[in-house]
Copies of this chain bind each other. A is one copy, B any other.
Amino acid sequence: MMEEVLRQVQEGKLSVSEAKEKLATYENLGFAKVDHHRKNRQGFPEVIYGEGKTKEQIFSIIKAIRSNNNDVLVTRISKEKADYILREHPEFIYHEIAQILFWKENTTSSKEPYEGYIAIVCAGTSDLRVAEEAAVTAEALGSEVRRFYDVGVAGIHRLFDNIEQIQQATVSVVVAGMEGALPSVVGGLVSHPVIAVPTSVGYGANFNGLSALLTMLNSCASGISVVNIDNGFGAAYNAVLIDNIAKKGAQKG
């Protein structure tokens, strides 16, 4: 891009100040800089991490994003903060378990021949919050999602009953706390990328998810990569990037 800008300046197509503006791609709210070009660079709007921000701060950032007609995705936002936003933006959608608030332009991508989906696989009921954060994020970012919950290794026949559907997914997000063994088992049974999410569910020598994190990093099954503890959003974001690669191929066909 830099070369292009330089050329346009040289050819007089771009003034110096215009050239500089090309790099000034964000809006300065004082307490935050909103990045309007990210959609171009990365294909998605700036995601707002709601934890540790006041509802008023979240509101201002949303306003800046919406004024550019960009989509909005707020993660880790409590019901109380979400209600505050929803009063002004009743068209937004809030998922309480996932703690996600979002708004998506109705980009009716009609005639999409792609039938791929992301499998969200989850070991136990206590991992639900993280699994839902992943599932709702992926949906908000435009992917099809199928949920396979409560299929942990302690009762492995429950996993086996669903394995064929999981195998047909484009990519899997596998969420597990405690010993975190599920991604290893899934990874040995599928031939697509597996994104593993350790959760902080457990007690004792679980050390807030460290146990599951180490298990997943040390998995002897190939094709597994790992995101941070409880980071359902990050896993989904990765999965959607991969799903989009498949989608692009399908749409070309």
Contacts and interface: CB of A to CB of B under 8 A. Distances in A.
Contact of A203 (B42, B181, B230): B230
A188 B26 CA distance: 14
Nearest to A19: B6
Contact of A204 (B10, B192, B218): B218
B234 A24 contact: no
Interface in A1-36: 1-3, 6-7, 9-10, 12, 15-16, 19-20, 23-26, 31-33, 35
B218 A179 contact: yes
B214 A231 contact: no
A219 interface: yes
A246 interface: yes
B203 A214 contact: no
Copies in the complex: 8
Interface residues of A, number: 110
Contacts of A31: 125, 128, 149-150
Nearest to A47: B222
Contacts of A184: 153-154, 179, 181
A35 B158 contact: yes
Contact of A229 (B42, B152, B189, B203): B203
Interface string A162-205: 00100000100000001111001101111111010010111111
A192 B189 CA distance: 25
A248 interface: yes
Interface stretch (A62-70, A88-96, A101-109, A237-245): A237-245
6 contacts: A2-B160, A153-B221, A178-B218, A204-B231, A217-B227, A242-B245
